[in-house]
Amino acid sequence: MHNDPSLNDPSAPHDPSASDGVRVSDGLRVSGDLSADLAEAARILSTATDVTLLAHVNPDADALGSALALGLVLHRRGAVVRVSFGAPAEVPETLRDLDVAGLLVPASAVPAAPPVLVALDTGSVGRLGPLADRVSTAGVVVVLDHHVSNPGFGHVNVVDDRAEATALVVLRLLDVLGVELDEPVARCVYAGLVTDTRSFRHASATTHEVAARLLAAGVDAEAVARPLMDSHPFGYLGMLAKVLGRARLERDAAGGLGFVHAVVTLEDAAGLRPEEVESVVDLVRTTAEAEVAAVLKELRPSSWSVSLRAVSAVDVREVAQLLGGGGHRLAAGFTASGEADEVLASLRAALETVTAPSER
């Protein structure tokens, strides 16, 4: 795990009480009591006058939707609010419309020492990428997340690994803050929820009730979901033809459960958005003969971001963590350098380790 012990050490060098009039209660750094942690996060945010909200690198709808929902509420209450992420430089096109108040700023506009920092959907400090250093320079760090592997790198950590999306954690916080939901806020929450639950297929009965509440607040489900999950430029089809044509199935891999993989090179992705590249795994993972699917996405020559998916039996978070990454049981990822074949070889080995009979 990427736990930096100094971050949870009450004697760590920075003094949260010195900034922005915000004080962090003693002993609340990693309480593990969700209601108490939520109350503490609400207390800090309701008095903060300057709040920086950060999503993880290569942000998805859960990360940015969560940040923009909370950001919009705090902005309306009069705080100076900025929402950002470490990389890439561009905001994903499909997420821009969520930012109705113009809260998104480039990473370069994030203060060197933000008084109050909120990290959303970010399972470890490293997932903030080039903005990771702000965790140690910020006055107060609030973590809102749903990754089971989150080490609790904030002063206040609201981490609910039973929540299907960070957007649900944010909604609970908005309820504690007494916010009345309206369409722009509900839409941000819905965007995170619909994507992380794969259109509510991985959603509890209670979460369906939350969805009903969001619809009642005015969300147009199809109008939100289609651009996020179901719409690509025509060039996508040509990219898929090439990439899927090279996909390989290894029936004996992953402890005999089957492993399918595909590679998206920079050349394959030229002229397309990250959204097209990110969605390839959703097709590869439909392979019935494979429990585990992987897509290697080329970031730079010899540098890869890898998406892992499992159907039900293999914990791909364990696999990703063996390779320095993280995620959830059925959806995880890691970054790696080298040739694609080398990355696949280490992935195969990690899969065998996790699926070895003694481990079951």
Which residues form the interface with ligand AMP (CB under 6 A)? Answer: 123, 127, 147, 307, 325-328, 331-335
Partner in contact with 157, chosen from ligand AMP, Mn ion, none, beta carbon below 5 to 8 Å by kind: none
Of 124, 133, 143, 147, the residue nearest 67 (C-alpha)? 143
Residue pair 67/120 in contact (Cβ under 8 Å)? The answer is yes
Residues 116 and 45: beta-carbon distance below 8 Å: yes
Q: What are phi and psi of 114, to 5 degrees?
A: -65, 140
Q: Which does 279 bind (CB under 5 to 8 A by kind): ligand AMP, Mn ion, none?
A: none
By CB under 5 A, residue 121 contacts Mn ion: yes
Cβ at position 275, least distance to ligand AMP in Å: 11
Between 140 and 296, CB nearer to ligand AMP:
296
Q: Which is nearer to Mn ion, 20 or 121 (CB)?
A: 121
Nearer Cβ to ligand AMP (76/236) = 236
Q: Which does 63 bind (CB under 5 to 8 A by kind): Mn ion, ligand AMP, none?
A: Mn ion
The least distance separating ligand AMP from the CB of residue 218, rounded to whole angstroms, comes to 27
Is position 62 an interface residue for Mn ion (rule: CB under 5 A)?
yes
Nearer to ligand AMP among residue 184 and residue 325 (C-beta): 325
Q: Which does 86 bind (CB under 5 to 8 A by kind): ligand AMP, Mn ion, none?
A: none
Nearer to Mn ion, 43 or 147 (CB): 147
CA 203 vs CA 98, 106, 162, 283, 305: distances in Å: 23, 33, 10, 21, 27
CA 350 to CA 353: how far, in whole Å?
Answer: 5
For residues 75 and 127, which CB has a smaller minimum distance to ligand AMP in the complex?
127
Decide which of ligand AMP, Mn ion, none touches 333; Cβ closer than 5 to 8 Å per partner kind.
ligand AMP
Rule CB under 5 A: which of 165-194 touch Mn ion? Answer: 166
Alpha carbons 70 and 95: distance in angstroms, whole number: 15
Among 20, 40, 60, 268, binds Mn ion (CB under 5 A): 60
Q: Hey, what are 100's tokens?
A: 């109705």
Instruction: At 77, list the tokens.
Output: 């209450």
Tell me how crowded residue 209 is: count the other CB atoms within 10 A of its CB: 11
Contact string 131-170 vs Mn ion (x = CB under 5 A): -----------------------------------x----
119 within 8 A of 141, measured Cβ to Cβ:
yes
Give the integer Cα–Cα distance in Å for 83 and 104.
5
Give Cα 321 distance to the centre of its chain: 16
Residue number of the CB closest to ligand AMP reads: 333
Which is closer to Mn ion, CB of 48 or CB of 63?
A: 63
Alpha helices, H only, the chain: 34-47, 61-76, 134-137, 166-176, 183-196, 205-216, 221-229, 235-245, 266-269, 274-278, 280-284, 316-322, 340-355
- Please report, for residues 44, 45, 154, 157, the alpha-carbon distance to residue 28 in angstroms, rounded to integers and kept in the order given: 12, 15, 10, 9
- Site size with Mn ion, rule: CB under 5 A: 6
User: How far apart are CB 149 and Mn ion at their closest, in Å?
Assistant: 13
Residue 253 carries which side chain, given as an amino acid letter? A
Q: Minimum distance between the CB of residue 42 and ligand AMP, rounded to whole angstroms?
A: 25
What minimum distance in Å lies between the beta carbon of 212 and ligand AMP?
A: 25
164 contact, one of ligand AMP, Mn ion, none, CB 5-8 Å limit per kind:
none
CA angle 145, 151, 156 (to 5 degrees): 60
Cβ proximity to Mn ion: between 63 and 277 the closer is 63
Note the residues at the interface with Mn ion (CB under 5 A).
60, 62-63, 121, 166, 196
